[in-house]
Amino acid sequence: MSVPVGTDANSTAKSRSGTVAEFGLVDVDPENLEAAIQEGEAARQAAMDAFALPSVKFDIVEASRSPVPWGGLSPNGRPTYPWQFGKGADDRSIPPPAYLLRHEIGHDLFVRRLVPSTRDDQYGGDAPDWLDEMAAVAFEGEDLRSVRRWAAARYAREGRLIPLRRFLTMTHPEMEAGSIPASSDGTARAFEAVSEDTPMFYAMASAFHDFLRQRTGNHAVVAEMAAVVRRRGSLERWILRRTGHGGRNDGIAALDAEFQAWIAVDPRHGGDENPELEARTGRRADVRCRDGDARRLPEPSGGAADDGWRGRTSGTDRDAAATRAVPGCRG
């Protein structure tokens, strides 16, 4: 836990001022300080846990007062993340939820430190789009992840999960739809989700991340895959080998079947407590959610609860509602 201890002791006249946190400086309005430090600290921990990057440094600043763009460098050379914590000056735009800041920091650190981008016309860095998204999802907090897990379990029940073979080769649905504006800094943050595939894409990124972490036993499996991409190896071959499906002609199909069976029984995906899943998988069916039927929960919209924000209420508000509801169901 970071504790603000005053202004930066090493600052020069030109340096940024702000509250010192373990990850760097926080220069935001007082009412946003707690949220900014909480997000920054969560991102710092995630960089260690998911990326195996010890002691990353960055600054978080109030977007309305920031002269540097997203990911621009501070006078001290730290990446800077301007974030709109409150309403805009015109009081019309709705700010993105603060809990998405760590997701966006994950995107930036992944491209900055693990798989850089050598082209402008792509989502994130040179890694496959699913890996770019998985890297950011790996930074998310448990509340948001539980929404994604709930969505993945539901899509699996309904047979609507994106087949693994397609997922591993597809362009990001919003990139495909042309809804992500080109950005010069290699990050794509401001877009409105329009593709029907987008919620499924994020649910897959979350569930496959959980699956790979468990199967490989490596919490930093994203960093391990990033290394495969950097040395221009075959990610598909690596995944098959690390999950015990190497050397088979139908490896991806077999892996997909195993992945879907795993979602149905994994406790974090509701496998222990979800009556529908239990009914389908033949497991004990006498358990009921205390708060009623999970089917009543609103459908999370993965894309909207993600990169960028245009001040609309779609998606994330519903995600937040689902976030509150799901733990009640899980007891």
User: Shortest approach of Zn ion to residue 148 CB, angstroms?
Assistant: 12
Look at residues 244, 250, 230, 259 and name the one whose alpha carbon lies nearest to residue 167.
Answer: 259
Q: What share of the chain is helix, strand, coil (3-state, %, to 5)?
A: 45, 5, 50
- Which C-beta is closer to Zn ion: that of 172 or that of 269? 172
Number of residues that bind Zn ion (CB under 5 A): 3
Which range, of 55-63, 67-75, 169-177, 299-307, touches Zn ion by CB under 5 A? 299-307
Complete DSSP assignment for 20-31: E-SSSEEE--GG
Q: Catalogue the E-assigned strands of the chain.
A: 19-20, 25-27, 59-62, 80-83
Which range, of 132-140, 155-163, 170-178, 289-297, touches Zn ion by CB under 5 A? 132-140
- Which C-beta is closer to Zn ion: that of 141 or that of 271? 141
- Which C-beta is closer to Zn ion: that of 16 or that of 318? 318
Look at residues 297, 280, 307, 296 and name the one whose alpha carbon lies nearest to residue 180.
Answer: 307
User: Shortest approach of Zn ion to residue 103 CB, angstroms?
Assistant: 6
Please answer whether residues 137 and 130 qualify as being in contact, where contact means their C-beta atoms are separated by less than 8 angstroms: no
Choose, by CB under 5 A, the member of 108, 140, 174, 307 that binds Zn ion.
307
Collapsed DSSP state (helix, strand, coil) of residue 39: helix
Which amino acid, residue 88?
G
Which range, of 3-11, 46-54, 136-144, 209-217, touches Zn ion by CB under 5 A? 136-144
Which range, of 12-20, 94-102, 151-159, 298-306, touches Zn ion by CB under 5 A? 298-306
Under the binding rule (CB under 5 A), the answer on residue 306 touching Zn ion is yes
- Which C-beta is closer to Zn ion: that of 40 or that of 106? 106
CA separation for the pair 225, 218 (Å, rounded): 11
CA separation for the pair 331, 322 (Å, rounded): 14
User: Shortest approach of Zn ion to residue 135 CB, angstroms?
Assistant: 9
User: Shortest approach of Zn ion to residue 91 CB, angstroms?
Assistant: 27
User: Shortest approach of Zn ion to residue 281 CB, angstroms?
Assistant: 31
User: Shortest approach of Zn ion to residue 202 CB, angstroms?
Assistant: 8
Please, which residues bridge with residue 60 across strands?
Answer: 26, 81
Parallel, antiparallel or unpaired: strands 59-62 and 25-27 = parallel
Choose, by CB under 5 A, the member of 36, 111, 136, 223 that binds Zn ion.
136
CA separation for the pair 173, 234 (Å, rounded): 22
Q: Residue written as tokens 């979350």?
A: 206
User: Shortest approach of Zn ion to residue 308 CB, angstroms?
Assistant: 9
The residues binding Zn ion (CB under 5 A) are: 136, 306-307
